[in-house]
């Protein structure tokens, strides 16, 4: 079972800054850098990387094989 760690860097401000990085990248990417689909795909990759490597979330929880509500 995966237990969420809210402070993986032992610094609350730094952990929050790293966690909000995909959102900042997405907004800046849409407004300044690139087209929407490319920004969305890169944001998805960044979000998976942050959640898997920094917050050590299980990859089976990141990539859902089927929706939770389906039976």
Confidence of residue 43 (pLDDT cuts 50, 70, 90): very high
Q: Calculate the alpha carbon distances from 16 to 2, 19, 21, 55, 60 in Å.
A: 20, 5, 9, 11, 23
Summarize pLDDT for 47-64 with one digit per residue, the tens: 888 888 877 776 666 666
Gap between the Cα atoms of 4 and 38, Å rounded: 30
Three-state SS for 39-69 is HHHHHHHHHHHHHHHHCCCCHHHHCCCCCCC
Give the rounded distance of the alpha carbon of 69 from its chain centre: 22
Summarize pLDDT for 1-10 with one digit per residue, the tens: 667 777 888 8
Gap between the Cα atoms of 71 and 33, Å rounded: 41
């Amino acid at each position: 079972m995966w237990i969420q760690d809210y402070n993986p860097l032992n610094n609350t401000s730094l952990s929050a800054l790293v966690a909000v990085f995909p959102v900042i990248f997405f907004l800046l990417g849409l407004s300044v850098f690139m087209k929407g689909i490319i920004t969305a795909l890169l944001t998805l990759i960044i979000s998976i990387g942050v959640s898997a490597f920094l917050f050590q979330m299980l990859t089976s929880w990141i990539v859902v094989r089927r929706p939770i509500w389906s039976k």
